[in-house]
Structure 1
């Protein structure tokens, strides 16, 4: 029997909205047979966090977008990962990311691009969202479309500043996050299968 693959979701959430996004990502991961999800809040930089990320086959990064970039808590986590970087600890793992902001645009792409660079510096393989843009891309679109915000690098969500996490992000944004988790998990299963074949050869 083959070992299950593990996808760690390393995220920070300031007010609970990005945490809901992280939970949706995890739901997507576990919908794939042979995949397990581990939610890890990077606000606590303890040994349990680093061990979980070390074991994982894939790491999906998550952070709110504040003032056009990821949160200071996520930045502290990224900087603390230098010890892992020095040992090439995450090299060849899969990576992806998600973010949430109050603004529809909110410069969320800048946050995701920073995550891509973090993954690249660690020698990881980035998995994109893999969806066409929804909603305003065509006259027949709606706010209920997957990828309604039209991102490609990772999953984007929008939470109005006057709504709590029990009401935002929208269902469409959470389903988009779930899609991302499923896509990363499937890719990780395929990669693990391929590596087993190569090892046998």
Structure 2
């Protein structure tokens, strides 16, 4: 069965909740490996967890996730991306399907920039991007409430992730898995 690697960094647990929701959406369609980036993976500023990189090597699809800090992906996620350069030079991740998700402090907290960063990372690796196909503000279930077609952008409301954002993450996982099976 195809493998979806969900590579993410989460400091407070919010991005992790989204990662697990993406996994729930995909797990009846493809195998899923959740790969959380931790502080222990980074030594002297460099990402050192070869196991995570090898999981992405084996995967047919990848979902990238990070909170948006200061207008971009967290430094811990960026360290992972920087460590992928050896794979980039050999295009080891080419033709994998990729998607992304992020959360920020505000409804318009520059989450789009983080999603754009993920798409550029995927493009550099020769990956094929999977965005959301739910028109923002049009879904009767309230999914994609912030209206980002590039990927899932969220923010906390009263200190919690809205259920509609969790539902959107599950949908993104399902969409990514279905495209992976179609592509494979």
RMSD: 1.5
Unaligned runs of 5+ in 1: 193-201
Equivalence for 2:174 = 182
Equivalence for 1:115 = 118
SS of the residue corresponding to residue 113 of structure 2 reads: helix
Equivalence for 1:21 = 18
Unaligned runs of 5+ in 2: 42-47
1:8 counterpart = 2:2:
no
Return the offset for 1:47: 2.1
Return the offset for 1:157: 1.4
Alignment check: 8 A CA contact 1:7 1:37 kept: yes
Alignment check: 8 A CA contact 1:157 1:174 kept: no
Return the offset for 1:46: 1.3
2-side partners of 1:52 and 1:66: how far apart? 26
1-side partners of 2:81 and 2:106: how far apart? 24
TM-score (norm. length: structure 2): 0.91
CA displacement 1:117-138 (0-9 Å, x = unmatched): 000000000011111112xx6x
SS of the residue corresponding to residue 116 of structure 2 reads: helix
Return the offset for 1:36: 1.0
Equivalence for 2:146 = 149
SS of the residue corresponding to residue 156 of structure 1 reads: strand
1:37 counterpart = 2:27:
no
Q: Which runs of 4+ in 1 moved over 4 A?
A: none
TM-score (norm. length: structure 1): 0.83
How many residues were matched structurally? 176
Return the offset for 1:42: 2.5
1:96 counterpart = 2:104:
no
1-side partners of 2:26 and 2:153: how far apart? 17
Return the offset for 1:169: 1.2
Equivalent positions of 1:43-192 (< 5 A) are: 43=38, 44=41, 45-134=48-137, 145-160=142-157, 163=159, 168-192=160-184
